[in-house]
Each structure stands twice: as C-alpha cells, then as structure tokens.
Amino acid sequence: MGEPMLPHGLPLRVVLLCSLVALFSIVTADEVQTAKPQCSNRCCDLTFSYPFGMNNTGNDCYFEEEYYNFLIFCDNSTNPPTPYITDKSTNIQILNISIENHEISIMVFVAKDCYDLSGGTSYNNDPRFTLPIFPISHAKNKFIAVGCDVYATFTGRQGSTYVTGCLSSCDSISDVINGSCSGIGCCETSIPRNAYRYNISVTSYNNHRGVWGFNPCGYAFVAADSFFSFSTDDLYKPPFDEVPIVLDWLIPKETCDDAKKNPTTYMCRENSNCTDAENGNGYQCHCLEGFQGNPYLQNGCQDINECVISQPCIGLCTNLPGTYNCSCQEGSQGDGRKDGKGSRIFTDEELKKATDHYHESRILGQGGHGTVYRGILPNNMVVAIKKAKILDQSQVEEFINELIILSQINHRNVVKLIGCCFETEVPLLVYEFVTNGTLSDHIHKCGHESTLSWRARLRIAGETAGALSYLHSDASAQILHRDIKSTNILLDENYTAKVADFGASRLVPLDRTQLTTLVQGTLGYLDPEYLQSSQLTEKSDVYSFGVVLAELLTGLRALSFERAESERNLSSYFASAIKGERLFEIIDSRVLNEGNPKEIKEVAMLASRCLRVKGEDRPTMKEVAMELEGLMKVMDRHPWVNQSCDLEEAEQLLGERPSKCDGILKSNASGNDDSISNQVPFEIESGR
C-alpha cells in the first residue's frame, strides 16, 4: 500500500513533519543593558530605554538630531511624579514605552459636544493632537464616537485632505446593545497610516432633542484597541476626559538605505538589523534572531544562551553566537533536540494578504522553478515567500527536500525556514527576509562593487565557510549543499552571509562518505570529479566554495563567454594565473588597493587548494573555515597598512613586479566585466 498523499501530491509525512516540528519558544533572560552608562531610565513607574532619555545627566542620554529629540521629562511636582514628552506647546503624559514593539502609549483628550434641555450648547471642544516625531499607530488604535445624535470626523495626515468619521444614532436606550459599537449609540472606524496629527470634530443633527434625558452629550476620541468597551451607562456622560493612544516610534526622516550612507549617525548597532517603518517616515532597529537587548546601544544586542534559557537539547548543547547546536552524547545518534526545528504552517489566505495577492510589485526574484515574493505578516515581520511556477513531481520533490533539509539546520549563516503552506495547488515555503540581495549582485553588478571592501569579502567568505563546515560536520546529519554559488549566498543589511537554496541538497547517511546521484549543479561551480563519476562527496561543496573565493578575489564571474576561450572558466583561469605567477594581473582593483599582498596570496592559495581536480587533495570545509578565521584574527591583532600596494613585497611573493597596483589589473581582452545572461542550473537527470 503506497504512502498517503494529499491532493496536490505532497506526502502526508511532509505535512506531519511541518506540523510536529513547529517550535514556539518563549525566551526569558537576565536583564540586559538598556540605557547608556550613568543615564537614568526611570520616572516613577515608567522604565524606558535609549534612544529615550532624560536631561538630568546630559544630552548624550537621549537621541537628538535637528528638530527631533527623544527627551523625556519627569514632573516631580506631582504625586506620584509624571513622565511626559512635549510638542513644544503641550505636555503629553507617557504611560509606557516598548523598545521591542517600537510603541509608546500616551494620554490624549476626548472631544465633547454637550447640550442643555432646551437644545442649547453647554460644552463643546474639538481637541487637536500634534506630535511631529511619531505617527499614530493605525494598527493599535480606533476612532470611536458615542451618542444617539452624533456625527464625528477625524482629520489627519499633514498636507492631506484625508477625512474619516462615523455616525451614531438611536431613539431609545432600549435600542442600545452593550458591547456593540456598530452605529447604535456607538460607532467606530479605523484611522490611516502616516498620521502625525489629528483634529476631531463632534457635531449633532438635532442638538440631542428627544434623547437628552439619557444622552445629553456626544463625544469622540482615538483610543488603544482594548481600552473602551461600550455600555449604556456611557451615554449619560463621558466616563473619562482623557484616553490612552498608541504611537509608533521610529528614527525619523530617513530610510534604512539613506541612513546607512552615514555610519556616524546610523543608529542600528552590532548584531541588529534595520527595517523601514511601515507607518511614518523613518526606520527601526531590531536585534537579530538569537540576540536580545537594545539594538540602539553599542554592544546592546547580546547573544541569548539558549542552552541555559530554553534547554533545547536532549543531548549536548553548545551555545553559538546567535544560535546553538545540539549533538548526541558519544555512543548515541539522532538530532539531539527535544522538539526538533521546524516551522509554522500558514494558510493560503494569510500568504495572499502578506503579498497583496502576489502582486507583481512584491516580486523579489524569479527563476526557472519559481518566484520569490516579499511578504509582510500581521506582526509586521517581513518574509520571503517562495512559490513554485508549475506543479510537477520534480518540484514537489525539491519542496519536500528543502523542507526536510532546513528542518535539520540551525545556524545564523543559513537562511531560516519560517513556515510552509499546503493549501495551494503549488507548494509554498516561507523564509526569513534577507534584505541586501545576493553576493553575486555585489560582486558583479555595476555600482554595487563599492559596497564590498576587502575586509568585508574576507568576512563573508569566513561566514559562508563556517556555515558549510556546520552542514558537513556539526549538523545532526551531514548535509551536502550541492549548489554553492554566489547567487545562493544572500547578504543581510549588515552584509552578513546567509547560505540559501537547499532544493538540491542531500542528507548523507551516517555510514556513508559519498552518494551516487544524477549530476546536478551550476556550470562554472560544478566539481569536475563529481561531473565525471556522479560520486557526490563533501569535497564537491569545497570545490564550489573555491570558485566563490576566486570570485571574491578577482571580481570575475564563474563562467563567461564574453572572455577569451582560455579565460572563460574562472577556476581554470585562476589556476593558470597562479601557475604562471600572474595572480596580481587578475585580482580585483579594490582588493589590490585595500589588501596586503601577503593576505591576498594566502587567500588565493587557499582557493587554489579548494579547486584541485582530485577531491582527496582538497581541504575540508572545517579546515577552510579555521584558516579564514585565523586570518581574520591576525588582521584584527596586526592590521596591515596597504601603502599603495607594496611593490617590493609583491615582487618577492609572486616572482615578478605587477605592472601597476592602484588600478584595474584584469587581463580581460574585451575590457568588459565578464557575464552570462542567466546562470541556469546544469542538470543531467533522466535525460533532461
């Protein structure tokens, strides 16, 4: 009897895998630093974090730039003391500030429109609210009007004619339903994004005649969602003069891309990422997954020790920066985790909403097998959603394979699988969103090269090697990626490497060192030994990584038919340049200008060893990672100064004097950056 299948061809075991391995962990941790040293972070019961601060210990305690500041005042003349911010004309009481959710709760006034028995106005106020630095949260507030003869409007958004409002009416108190705010005695509506101010107006059609005995006043307000629950008692008079609302706080004016151009004012610190605010004009900083604390402070995002806090392993737990690893004790086998890793199951409707029904403006990239969309979940988390183009058995197999592989992996330099969807005709996978494109973009696309310094290239190489070393040696089962290339290495906002695309990857049984498979990979990166023998080993990934390392050194594509025939394949061209003592002729100009010849030579020799024809002659990924890590440590301890490229030292290292060291040293006959329109995966499977 065959394995049970779902309508779209996915085996039931895959759905069970995704269901059973779903892991929702609540992490608690010791208190971490949230304010700058010597700076107060409390006023009465309010505790706050930098960039908020008070001025009693100096301006450096809070963020301030031009007309914007995060200054908090503490009014000690009241009992208890009252924390507030000011819009230069009004003091606004603060109830709470959240650094995790980027929210600040404040108190604002209620608009009232009251009448006497004869229908004359006894009281009317149309309160205004303005706070240029923070927008009103469209997701956490509602506009509410109460009364049996009320029409209220909300005017917001500076420079816009936007108006919203609602009408509430009733003839008798018996018409009113407690808890209902659908237009009988109470009405409500949502408010817009990007509203930094509002003006509320409350009017009456009939001056409350006929209902004055139980409803002499109409009133309206913006309030936090959970604050108000309507009842008939609220018709007689407003039960409050002020209400709490939620603002979304952000670093004003700039997007992430603009802010990063000025490192001295950019607010996101180590182990954090930057996101453009969904509401308002500005950006927000968040600690990376696996870290916690204050992303706006130097060293504010600290590693979470999952081994102590959540105790995720049955076996041995090793804490790593931003993550952890589980391994079995000697004599045991398995993945060593209590609950396994996995992912959330999404509904079709959730992912449609997240992608605006897969609108073309949300497309991040397209390939032969599918399309990747940018999605925004209800909690404002940005994700990447991979949708297969056509449903066929090979794509179902790739989907299953990637799901199973990624369920084994927990590493900060491997893109994380967040969830999956089984309701659609074609399979969907949901990943963490990696904001800065591919390594290939930054090496080869015009205008991007300047973003990758020599040091950044070395760090990216080291992070990628570390991830592959983890896959080969430290994961619960050995994983061979089988398609390492610069387009499958993503870069986040801090240019941290994330290895992606595990559709072609393979798990290696414990008793095996190689697999016999139909050849699959990408021309230019494909291990020649694997191509000839169909024997896949960990050294196949080493070869592909060697090509990536050569790309980082030279700035050349792995394969280009625009180069001379002898130079088309980068791996052979690179080996030939080293053998002919012409290495410096093909090294990227920025690498030459910033790197010391000793560094360049050492990394080039490492790449050369990775590219050896025989797999047994190549180093392991663990050895590669250790060598790159050691080089980075040496650079940290003894930073070399590249003095216009030391010609004498280069001559000693390479046996010849480079023709010049501060220009472009590429022997490219066409003078063009070698390219190929589309690097299509090279597959030889069942005659394809």
**Active-site amino acid positions:** 483
Q: Contact at 8 Å (CB) between 433 and 492?
A: no
Q: Contact at 8 Å (CB) between 488 and 503?
A: no
Map tokens 């592909």 to a residue. Answer: 544
Contacts of 558 (CB under 8 A, 6+ apart): 485, 486, 522, 523, 524, 525, 547, 550, 551, 569, 570, 571, 679
Q: Contact at 8 Å (CB) between 148 and 171?
A: yes
Contacts of 235 (CB under 8 A, 6+ apart): 146, 147, 148, 173, 176, 185, 214, 215
| Strands in 87-241 per DSSP E | 91-98, 103-109, 111-115, 121-125, 128-130, 141-146, 149-156, 163-169, 186-189, 197-203, 217-224
Separation of alpha carbons 83 and 305, rounded Å: 35
Amino acid at the residue 51? P
CA angle 10, 11, 16 (to 5 degrees): 105
Closest by CA to 488, choosing from 525, 428, 557, 440, is 440
Give CA separation, 276 vs 251, 430, 437, 584, in Å.
10, 20, 16, 41
Separation of alpha carbons 173 and 233, rounded Å: 10
Amino acid at the residue 140? K
Contacts of 656 (CB under 8 A, 6+ apart): 581, 582
HEC secondary structure over 21-38? CCCCCCCCCCCCCCCCCC
- 3-state secondary structure at position 50: coil
- 3-state secondary structure at position 323: strand
Give CA separation, 213 vs 151, 172, 208, 210, in Å.
19, 10, 9, 8
Contacts of 533 (CB under 8 A, 6+ apart): none
- CA dihedral for 252, 258, 260, 263, sign (positive or negative): negative
Q: List alpha helices for 319-452, DSSP H.
A: 348-354, 393-406, 439-444
Element (H or E) spanning 418, and its range? strand 417-421
- φ, ψ dihedrals at 311, nearest 5°: 45, 65
DSSP 118-163: TS-EEEEE--EEE-TTSPBPTTTEEEEEE-SEEEEEEEESTT---E
- Residue 83 is encoded by which pair of tokens? 């924390």
